[in-house]
Amino acid sequence: MTAQDAQKTIFVTGAGSGIGRATAQLFAQRGWFVGLFDVDANGLEATAASVPEGQRISMAFDVRDRSGWARAVEAFGQATNRRMHVLFNNAGVGRGGFIDEMSEADIDLVLDVNLKGVINGVTAALPLLRETPGARVVNTASVAGIVGVPRMSIYCATKFGVRGLTESLDVELGRYGIRVTSLMPWFIDTAILDGAPGDGSNRRMRDALVENKTPIYPVSMAAERAWDAAHGSELHYMVGREAERARFFARFFPGAMRRQISKTFGTEG
């Protein structure tokens, strides 16, 4: 085995910012070769500048584009001697608002990036994953994949979908020796919290969280849990104490959880 073959490898989508950037940096610091991929070329360039040149490959592409996936996976395979120890399906977008006030374009964007993009990634990367002993897929879901939140119905639908996809694929791909896990963050300090709400108001999600004194966790915490998800034996990896609490209350006290969500996010027009 060559030194190159001994180095672990991770393919990261959404690497241009937020959780993707922090995770790529953490894995690189711990000796991994990282593939950096994002639709945002400028953000991708900034991330690449923080990783040693001989330890990464980067390419801009849209996870909605199957041909883009094929090109990215091929380039990654050429750079890693056809090894992909971890596929980190992390790219995602946030668009909110009452469903009857969301545009068709925003609905399609959230569905296509957050759910279809993850499926595209698994299907495109599967040949390399099958060739890599001990390979794993880590999908970024969310606490929004545990309990529904008003003004986030489409986003929640995608994250519930990613959670279900993860659970199904962990069994299905087990016949190839591939584990599939998910990262399920509470609110993380990323640009998603600052996005336009999509309901005609100027109120950001961050505004409601700060007003209600809801904890917002740093991206470094999510990156550490992504490391755990790439190595541990659990199926879902919660990020933050509030995420653990949400999972507990959604399971055992769903009524109380829904009342708290309604109080925090409101349902009035």
**pLDDT 10s digits, 36-89:** 999 999 999 999 999 999 999 999 999 999 999 999 999 999 999 999 999 999
What's the confidence (pLDDT) of residue 267? 56
**pLDDT band, residue 165 (cuts 50/70/90):** very high
User: What integer is the mean pLDDT of 108-128?
Assistant: 98
The lowest-confidence range among 56-65, 183-192, 222-231 is 183-192
Write down the pLDDT at residue 207: 57
Residues whose CB is less than 8 angstroms from the CB of residue 210 and which lie 6 or more positions away in sequence, other chains included: 216
Residue 1 and residue 205: Cα distance in Å, rounded?
50
More confidently predicted of 167 and 215:
167
The domain spans of the chain are: 3-265
Q: Does position 252 have pLDDT exceeding 80, yes or no?
A: no
Query: Does the pLDDT of residue 220 top 50, yes or no?
Result: yes
**pLDDT at residue 209 is higher than 60:** no
Higher pLDDT, 16 or 206: 16
Query: The whole model's pTM is what?
Result: 0.88
Q: Which residues are identified as catalytic?
A: 155
Lowest mean pLDDT among 79-93, 101-115, 198-212, 227-241: 198-212
> What pLDDT, on the 0 to 100 scale, is given for residue 260?
72
| C-alpha dist (Å) from residue 56 to 45, 46, 53, 90 | 12, 13, 6, 17
For residue 163, pLDDT over 50 is answered with yes
All residues at 6 or more sequence positions from 258 whose CB lies less than 8 Å from its CB, including other chains: 147
pLDDT of residue 32: 98
What tokens does 68 get?
Answer: 């883009």
The CA distance from 186 to 176, in Å, is 31
What percent of the chain has a predicted confidence (pLDDT) above 70? Answer: 83
CATH 2.40.240.20 for the 3-265 domain, yes or no:
no
2 or 80: which leads in pLDDT: 80
